[in-house]
Amino acid sequence: MALSNTVWITLAIVCASLVEGSMDRKDRQDPDWWKTTTVYQIYPRSFKDSDNDGTGDLKGIQSELDYFVDLGIETVWLSPIFKSPMKDFGYDVSDFIDIDPIFGTLEDFKDLLEAAHSRGLKIVMDYVPNHSSDQHEWFQKSLEKEDPYTDYYVWEDAIGFDNNGDPIPPNNWLSYFRYSAWEWNEQRQQFYLHQFVKEQPDLNYRNPLVLKEMQDVLTFWMELGVDGFRMDAVAYMWEDEQLLDEPLSGDPSALDEFDYFYLDHIYTNNLAETRDIILAAFDQTIKEFGAQDGYPRVNMLEVYLDIQDHLQYYECSDFPFNFYLISNTAQPPSAVMMFDAINYLLDNIEEDQVPNWVLGNHDNWRVGYRLGPKVVDTMNMILLTLPGVSVSYYGEEIGMTNNMNITFEQTVDPSGCNCGPQDYNEEVCSRDPERTPMQWNNGPNAGFNEGGPTWLPLNDNYVSVNVENQRDDPYSHFSIYKKMIALRQETALRFGSTVTKTIGNVLVVGRISETPETVPTFVLVANFAETSATVDLSEMFSTPQSDTGVVVVATDLQSDNSEGSIVSLQSITLSPMESFVFQL
């Protein structure tokens, strides 16, 4: 059959665009791209080190973009890559619109962005609005009382001087990383507020110029082409003007009176103005930019709050990160615990609020350590079965765990250092254990670099826990993760309604198709018990047409539930700790 010229020309255009990059900017026309996206968080220092200097960099990330394409990841979020003295490893920013040389240059970033977009990948930037570095030009000028920078930060007088002649801070407010949140500055003869390390002075959002500056930062990165932002520590941006002491919390987990959790932060955290004034303005900047070029950027917020407070942040963003799978779970994991953590969000959000799920990040122990290595696949399957956005921390797809063998001398995280040699490895202290280099293979330094230094010691388990080892094994963490993402394409995992249930220690999550003739319903069953279990799901899922399902993602090779096998809804038997997904 001869093809007409028009058909040939059309095919040629289609092929050319596929070669250039399958999705390119065209898929940007989908205004809802972010509502079901898969986010992968890169901690840039730890991902891939192209120049063998010990710290990961942009060229390293660029060299691994096909890894995301292979895995099926759609959105990559980069923890801060801005200029920084690295007192808090990039969260102390000395120039919000430039790249730190340790990671590369602005040109490298533009290259990375283009290379990512040409593969249909989205790039989301971290954005750190609560504070800058003390080395930022604004702070240096503020020290000098040079206008307009004089009031760019939160400066307060001492309330007196003690017997040694030392200045007394305005109140008892504490830094998240321990000790007073006030630091005396000799030059200005005043205290400045820092809710994180002392080299991270808090910006003063009562000053409209600061708000404007930070809105311009957003515009700068959007003009460069980034696909959205993850906003850091947003609940800390506004403090009560009266500067009253904060009351004691009574929290037994506080190490001592210098521990942040010793106080109840009613005057420094989660004040209405942070949402109504600051975040509303940031969100407006982002939405207006998106409306202009017809492509919405995503705006995701970092907040750790109870559900009622949490929900308020939907008003000023696309979504606040949902950390309940972290904060509301602990060892030993159980079906009821997961059910409660999941429904803490699902029972409370409105229809038009997009749910999202996070298992770990650079501030929390890795899920494979916190809940144990046996539930790595189960947790990834839960993450990728639930509705909305999934957020994975690098290495979760291969089951990386904490490196708890880092000595106090090797510890670099200020939060660990401030806890001292006794406590540094407590969960609330050092974050180094979850920040060690990505484990690519079992070669030198796990393929993170070519055998040079590494900024943190590798986890010894890289010899077996690595990408190369897992890539071709159909039942590895990597392969299961990849199969789960593949299932999400245009299926009920993206668009279906959600049902959850526990039967004994088995968790059931169903994603029900509205059009079962063409799109199947998917069901995840996860046994959290160390013994086998049999469940009857016929009432939940049987239809007049069928009372069986077909296993599509399996985990336990020893069990009968291998991929392709038929399960009878009336009686499904799971091995100890087994989980799998079947379709109806």
Rounded-to-integer distance, Cα 140 and Cα 492, Å: 54
* Catalytic option among 232, 259, 318, 396: 232
What's the Cα-to-Cα distance from 112 to each of 26, 45, 62, 98, 196, rounded to whole Å? 18, 16, 6, 15, 30
Binding at 53: pick from ligand NOJ, Mg ion, none (beta carbon under 5-8 Å per type)? Mg ion
From the list 67, 91, 155, 462, which residue makes contact with ligand NOJ (rule: CB under 6 A)? 91
H-helix or E-strand spanning residue 356: strand 356-358
Binding at 377: pick from Mg ion, ligand NOJ, none (beta carbon under 5-8 Å per type)? none
Q: How far is the CB of 154 from ligand NOJ (least distance, A)?
A: 16
Q: How far is the CB of 79 from ligand NOJ (least distance, A)?
A: 8
Q: How far is the CB of 139 from ligand NOJ (least distance, A)?
A: 15
Nearer to Mg ion, 48 or 131 (CB): 48
Binding at 362: pick from ligand NOJ, Mg ion, none (beta carbon under 5-8 Å per type)? ligand NOJ
Helix ranges (H only) for 353-400 are: 367-370, 376-385
From the list 36, 37, 38, 55, which residue makes contact with Mg ion (rule: CB under 5 A)? 55
Binding at 227: pick from Mg ion, ligand NOJ, none (beta carbon under 5-8 Å per type)? none
H-helix or E-strand spanning residue 572: strand 572-574
408: buried, middle or exposed (CB in 10 Å: 19+, 13-18, 0-12)? middle
* Residue nearest ligand NOJ (C-beta atom): 91
Strand pairing category for 533-535 and 572-574:
antiparallel
Asked if 417 touches ligand NOJ (CB under 6 A), the answer is: no
Nearer to ligand NOJ, 74 or 88 (CB): 88
* Residues in 363-382 that interact with ligand NOJ by CB under 6 A: 363
Looking at residue 4, the DSSP 8-state letter turns out to be P
Nearest one of 389, 353, 295 to 74, comparing CA atoms: 389
Q: Tokens standing for 488?
A: 């999400």
Interface with Mg ion (CB under 5 A), residue total 5
Nearer to ligand NOJ, 93 or 487 (CB): 93
Binding at 455: pick from Mg ion, ligand NOJ, none (beta carbon under 5-8 Å per type)? none
Asked if 53 touches Mg ion (CB under 5 A), the answer is: yes
Asked if 196 touches ligand NOJ (CB under 6 A), the answer is: yes
514: buried, middle or exposed (CB in 10 Å: 19+, 13-18, 0-12)? exposed
Binding at 55: pick from Mg ion, ligand NOJ, none (beta carbon under 5-8 Å per type)? Mg ion
Asked if 100 touches Mg ion (CB under 5 A), the answer is: no
Q: How far is the CB of 102 from Mg ion (least distance, A)?
A: 7
From the list 128, 193, 335, 379, which residue makes contact with ligand NOJ (rule: CB under 6 A)? 128
The three-state secondary structure class of 425 is coil
List, in sequence order, every beta strand (DSSP E) within 63-152. Answer: 75-78, 82-83, 95-99, 122-127
Q: Tokens standing for 306?
A: 């109870």
Asked if 488 touches ligand NOJ (CB under 6 A), the answer is: no
Interface with ligand NOJ (CB under 6 A), residue total 9
Asked if 64 touches Mg ion (CB under 5 A), the answer is: no
Asked if 151 touches ligand NOJ (CB under 6 A), the answer is: no
Asked if 88 touches ligand NOJ (CB under 6 A), the answer is: yes
Nearer to ligand NOJ, 255 or 346 (CB): 255
* Residues in 244-303 that interact with ligand NOJ by CB under 6 A: 302
212: buried, middle or exposed (CB in 10 Å: 19+, 13-18, 0-12)? exposed
Asked if 95 touches ligand NOJ (CB under 6 A), the answer is: no
Binding at 128: pick from ligand NOJ, Mg ion, none (beta carbon under 5-8 Å per type)? ligand NOJ
Rounded-to-integer distance, Cα 556 and Cα 577, Å: 9
CA atoms within 13 A on the CB side of 470: 25
Nearer to Mg ion, 173 or 455 (CB): 455
Distance of CA 548 to the CA centre of its chain: 37
Q: Is 578 annotated as catalytic?
A: no
Q: Which residues contact 441 (CB under 8 A, 6 or more apart)?
A: 447, 466, 467, 468, 469
Nearer to Mg ion, 440 or 580 (CB): 440
Asked if 51 touches Mg ion (CB under 5 A), the answer is: yes
Rounded-to-integer distance, Cα 107 and Cα 311, Å: 39
Polymer length of the chain: 584
The DSSP bridge partners found for residue 231 are 127, 301
Q: Is 232 annotated as catalytic?
A: yes
The DSSP bridge partners found for residue 510 are 499, 523
What's the Cα-to-Cα distance from 466 to each of 192, 450, 478, rounded to whole Å? 45, 16, 9
Binding at 57: pick from ligand NOJ, Mg ion, none (beta carbon under 5-8 Å per type)? Mg ion
* Catalytic option among 74, 302, 434, 578: 302
Choices 46-54, 206-214, 330-338, 407-415 (CB under 5 A): range interacting with Mg ion: 46-54
H-helix or E-strand spanning residue 500: strand 497-503
Asked if 98 touches ligand NOJ (CB under 6 A), the answer is: no
Rounded-to-integer distance, Cα 106 and Cα 110, Å: 6
Nearer to ligand NOJ, 129 or 520 (CB): 129
Nearer to Mg ion, 453 or 474 (CB): 453
* Residues in 206-235 that interact with ligand NOJ by CB under 6 A: 232-233
H-helix or E-strand spanning residue 286: helix 280-293
Determine the Cα angle at 533 with ends 530 and 537, to 5°: 140
Contact track, ligand NOJ, 294-323, x by CB under 6 A: --------x---------------------
Asked if 434 touches ligand NOJ (CB under 6 A), the answer is: no
Q: Which residues contact 461 (CB under 8 A, 6 or more apart)?
A: 401, 439
Binding at 213: pick from Mg ion, ligand NOJ, none (beta carbon under 5-8 Å per type)? none
H-helix or E-strand spanning residue 393: strand 389-393
Binding residues for Mg ion, rule: CB under 5 A, are 49, 51, 53, 55, 57
Binding residues for ligand NOJ, rule: CB under 6 A, are 88, 91, 128, 196, 232-233, 302, 362-363
Positions annotated as catalytic residues are 232, 302
